[in-house]
Amino acid sequence: MKPSDPGITWLEEKPLGLAERLYLPLFIQGLTTTARHMVSPKVTVSFPEQRPQVGNPLIYRGVHRLNRDPEGRVKCVACFLCATACPAHCIDIVASNSPWPDREKYPESFQIDELRCIFCGMCEEACPVDAIELTSLLDLTGKSREEMIFDKEKLLSVYDMTKDAEPMKSATLGGTL
């Protein structure tokens, strides 16, 4: 393309005015901006003492939980859709015949390797019964790799811990169950 091509729009920098060439107005402008930021409210959260505000807990993707139905049983029906959808292959389910009459199967063991998980939320989307959900818990720590593999009990306990603060999304969003 030639410089004279009509398709090119040439943008020209404005020549400096007198105020700009004298430097002082810009000097004061710069210093005022700096001074304003010096005293403006700070955005840093002092983390352990102060919890960061999660914008919308409904769409935040933190630690997983396994939901319980009204009778306190695990909601999961061991359909393997979440494990199939998981791009990181971090969900491991062992299915077994359900002891309850209203469903065929239930998870005998349900493990999520939180270290492998990429928190994409696809398991939550795939779940047909809204059993697996991502909470807004964001500080996920542990002292060993084994500790970071969450089993069924731990995932259910996450539900017990967060159910009051974060009601099941299925209800809020008009879910399937």
Partner 1 sequence: MNSLSTLLPSPTTLAALAKIGLLIGGLMTAAAYLVLLERWIAAWVQDRRGPNRVGIPLTKIRLFGLGQPLADGLKIILKEDFTPKHVDKVLYNAAPLVILAASLAIFAAIPFGSVLPPLNIPGLPDPVPFLVAPGLDVGVLWVFALSSIAVYGVLLGGWASNNKYGFLGGLRSSAQLVAYEIPLGLGLLGVVLAAGSLKLDTIMNAQAETGIWYAFAQPLGFLVFLVASFAEAARLPFDLPEAEQELVGGYHTEYSGIKLLLFLVAEFLHMITAAFLIVIMFLGGWHLWGVTGSGNEVSWAGAFLRFGVLSAKILAVIVFFMLVRWSWPRFRFDQLMNLAWKVMLPLGLANLVTVAAVEEFRPQLVAALGAGPASWLAIAIPWAVFFVGWIAAGVFTPSGTDNRPIRARGPLDIEHDLLEHELAGSR
Binding to partner 1 by residue 46, rule CB under 8 A?
Answer: yes
Number of residues in contact with partner 1, rule: CB under 8 A? Answer: 30
Among 6, 7, 9, 10, binds partner 1 (CB under 8 A): 10
Picking from 146, 123, 145, 106, the residue whose alpha carbon sits closest to that of residue 65 is 123
Question: Which among 115, 109, 93, 116 has a CA at the least distance from the CA of 154?
Answer: 109
CB of 44 to partner 1, least distance (A): 5
What value does the CA radius of gyration of the chain take, rounded to a whole number of Å? Answer: 27
Contact set for partner 1, span 15-44 (CB under 8 A): 15-16, 18, 21-24, 27, 30-31, 33-35, 37-44
Residue whose structure tokens are 């697996």? 132
Residue from 9, 11, 71, 164 touching partner 1 (CB under 8 A): that is 11
Q: Does 2 bind partner 1 (CB under 8 A)?
A: yes
Q: SS3 for 157?
A: helix
Cα–Cα nearest to 124, from 81, 163, 95: 81
Which positions touch partner 1 (CB under 8 A)?
A: 2-4, 10-16, 18, 21-24, 27, 30-31, 33-35, 37-44, 46
